[in-house]
Amino acid sequence: MSARPITTVRTIVTDIAEAGTGIKLFSLADPDHWELPPFKPGAHIDLHLPNGLVRTYSLCNEPADNTRYVIAVKREADGRGGSRALHDDVGVGDVIGVSLPRGGLEPDARIARYVFVAGGIGVTPFLSATRHLQRTAQAEFTLHLVVREEVPLAAQLGSLIEMGIVVVHRTSREGRPDLAELVGDPGPETLVACCGPESMTEDFERLTAAWPKANVHIERFVAPPPIIDPDAKPFTLSLARSGTEIQVRAGQTMLAALQEGGIDVATSCCGGICGACKVGWIEGRPVHRDRILTPYERERYLMVCVAGSDADRLVLDL
């Protein structure tokens, strides 16, 4: 049984290029050369790999480049297998299903200044965003790239570095930069964003804790450890469209309960950081544990991989 269709777009790998040590750029296009579904700057897509894995990657081309999706993949020998599959098993001409793009930076006329902080390969979503801002002349922006020594995607970033739009901080020479100095003071017209190793994003999150939530954007590589609620109680999921009711056991995730009930839900990270399993909720008191939804979005949506319920019954838009 399926509560909703899981939409994937059929793409073909048109180009694979080396982009640094252990990094490859993959270009994906429609097999019949149609435009691909639109995306926001720095949005991400799920790749449904031939070996059955589903992995999320940020788009590093800008939205105006609408006939292809370009992702940068660093081969992680000790990762979960997605990067190894792409590096070792995928070639030009292969067909890959991808999700509709989601996330990214919302265009906002109120924002006059953007500050991006990236660690290593975490630069990918901000390459998209800086190219978009450069083309549209929408606002002032700076991208701080923190690397040990080698700059990833050097060919793509070279002109931006020369123009001073991208500022490179090499920790092997000058140590780790002071994030507070890079970010500056909070203000309603400033948006700050970070993507990089967990230690960097945690420091960034603490630094910007007092900022307006709408002015802070964080992308993560790895989902945090699941939150174990010792006081968790069972509850009922009511699916508004089908009328189905599903019992969620104490300590069980909504996602697991839905899957046990034969409900197809798109998944990727299973840790509340990618947005693949976003579902609308209609009634109840959800407990949000994700790291991606804004306060406004939480009034209408939840992530079934990590969300809980503070009520005996929660009604989902499924």
pLDDT tens, N- to C-terminus, the chain (318 residues): 444 445 789 999 999 999 999 999 999 999 999 999 999 999 999 999 888 888 889 999 999 999 999 999 999 877 777 899 999 999 999 999 999 998 898 878 889 999 999 999 999 999 999 999 999 887 899 999 999 999 999 999 999 999 999 999 999 999 999 999 999 998 899 999 999 998 999 999 999 999 998 899 998 877 777 777 788 899 999 999 999 999 999 989 999 999 999 998 888 788 888 888 899 999 999 999 988 888 888 999 999 999 999 999 999 999
Task: With beta carbons less than 8 A apart as the criterion, state whether 20 and 1 touch.
Answer: no
Token readout for 245 is: 């009711």
- Report pLDDT for 2: 42
Pairing of strands 313-316, 235-239: parallel
Instruction: In whole angstroms, give the CA distance from residue 154 to residue 29.
Output: 23
CATH number of this structure's domain 113-220? 3.40.50.80
- Report pLDDT for 4: 45
- Report pLDDT for 114: 95
Pairing of strands 166-170, 245-248: unpaired
Residue that the structure tokens 């998209």 belong to: 128
Instruction: In whole angstroms, give the CA distance from residue 244 to residue 213.
Output: 35
Task: With beta carbons less than 8 A apart as the criterion, state whether 175 and 153 touch.
Answer: no
Domain map of the chain by residue range?
A: 8-99, 113-220, 235-316
Helix (H, G, I), strand (E, B) or coil at 72: strand
Judge: domain 8-99, CATH 2.40.30.10.
Answer: yes
Tell me whether the CATH fold assigned to 113-220 matches the one assigned to 235-316.
no
- Cβ neighbours of 179 (radius 10 Å): 18
Token readout for 70 is: 């370009």
Residue 286 makes CB contacts below 8 A (sequence gap 6+) with 298, 302, 307, 308, 309, 310, 314
Instruction: In whole angstroms, give the CA distance from residue 186 to residue 168.
Output: 23
Name the CATH superfamily for 235-316: Beta-grasp domain (3.10.20.30)
CA distance between the termini of the chain:
12
Q: How much of the chain is helix, strand and coil, in % rounded to 5?
A: 20, 30, 50
Across-strand partners of 303?
278
Angle, CA of 294, 37 and 69, to the nearest 5°: 90
